[in-house]
Copies of this chain bind each other. A is one copy, B any other.
């Protein structure tokens, strides 16, 4: 019974101020992005480990590529002047003095009347200025018989033809995929400078939560938030350094959060942000000396989302309802991750799409619903229940529909704005 009447008053108080301080999503994102550290750290790592990382340097080619004049085909390297006047009627006989395989080179300088058998990619020997195709000659015991003229530099690849040393190859801020890795490797580059990845901590609060695999006592339910957000962060390339439960006691929770802030740059919590008397984050933030920058965003689900800073750390406190948690994670945490890691692919990606079925609720406030977009049309999963706790309806969804405040029911065929997950 302790605190019962006090807490009710406190709840009313909060309910009154609530509407005043709820902010628009766009404003929330501005505040969030303003708290990205101005300076980005970068470090060098092996090219092999750089997949999906963001380049922190401009890359210029350290070599000419190809690094030497080479043959583009299998044939014979020779001197074009030796073939002057060659024709079917006047075949010219050239002595084959060497064989050059790719990866090797010839020490001989070709003199008048001499050729070298050469393989695709092998360096053109000195003295030669063109290559004749294997198919275009007759071979005869150490000689070739050539019945056509060749021009200077026929079938001849020049050093630096693909890339000249010093050419600008990739820019700071570009994302490294396997293609960029292949390009860098082809220039001999095996280490690159990339931006640091922030370290994330994930903490879930709620006295009723039990970790999957453990036994359920009466009143307890299984927690899905830790698994959900851990997996989502991993999918986005940010495996949390800490994933744990937060005690339900404000002072213990504040101590734990302060500890976690030593090891992580970004802290994401779920639960404890609503207006009940177990919604401890309201007490935890002042206790630890964190600065709350906003509480409540004008959208559903996940209205009571909170954002705070503690020293140079940022803390996202999301609603404990799993669907609300994953929705506000996408809407609030991703834009921060995009900016701090300089990865534009993580930012909110909006597009127009045409509704493929009816949405039969009016939306007094702004609302985000899960859906699946295919080729410009978007389908809302038809499930018996649309309660926000039900994750099953999210299976196969790839976007959120952003339904503005004050929208009527939406009929099939309506153009809506979606955000890709």
Q: Which A residues lie at the B interface, using CB under 8 A?
A: 1-2, 4-5, 8, 11, 47-48, 51-52, 63, 65-68, 74, 96, 98-105, 117, 119-123, 134, 139, 142, 162, 169, 177-191, 206-214, 216, 218-232, 234-235, 248, 276-278, 322, 326, 375-376, 385, 387, 389-392, 394-395, 397
B99 touches A182 (CB 8 A): no
Q: How far is the CB of A203 from chain B (nearest CB, A)?
A: 16
B208 touches A188 (CB 8 A): no
Return the contact of A105 from the options B181, B211, B213, B219 (Cβ within 8 A): B219
| A103-B248, A186-B391 given; 6 more Cβ-contact pairs under 8 Å | A11-B74, A47-B212, A102-B207, A123-B218, A179-B391, A184-B212
In the complex, which residue of chain B has the Cβ closest to the Cβ of A100? B219
Q: A51-B234, A190-B212, A231-B177 are in contact. Are A218 and B185 (CB under 8 A)?
A: no
Q: A207-B104, A212-B189 are in contact. Are A1 and B219 (CB under 8 A)?
A: no
A230 touches B177 (CB 8 A): no
Q: How far is the CB of A158 from chain B (nearest CB, A)?
A: 12
Indicate how many identical chains form the complex: 2
Q: Which residues of B contact A99 (CB under 8 A)?
A: 1-2, 4
Q: Which residues of B contact A395 (CB under 8 A)?
A: 179-180, 183
Q: Which residues of B contact A63 (CB under 8 A)?
A: 216, 222
Sample of 27 A–B contacts (CB below 8 Å) = A1-B96, A4-B96, A5-B139, A47-B212, A65-B222, A66-B221, A67-B221, A68-B219, A101-B207, A102-B208, A103-B207, A103-B248, A105-B218, A121-B208, A178-B228, A178-B235, A182-B228, A183-B391, A185-B226, A186-B221, A186-B222, A186-B322, A188-B213, A188-B214, A188-B216, A190-B212, A191-B213
Return the contact of A102 from the options B96, B134, B206 (Cβ within 8 A): B206
Shortest Cβ-Cβ A-B pairs, 9 listed:
A103-B208, A190-B213, A103-B207, A182-B228, A178-B231, A185-B227, A186-B224, A190-B212, A185-B224
B322 touches A182 (CB 8 A): yes
Q: Which residues of B contact A74 (CB under 8 A)?
A: 11, 276
What's the Cα separation between A5 and B248 when bound, in Å? 84
B389 touches A162 (CB 8 A): yes
Return the contact of A181 from the options B189, B228, B277, B385 (Cβ within 8 A): B228
Q: A185-B224, A231-B51, A391-B186 are in contact. Are A219 and B180 (CB under 8 A)?
A: no
What's the Cα separation between A322 and B188 when bound, in Å? 15
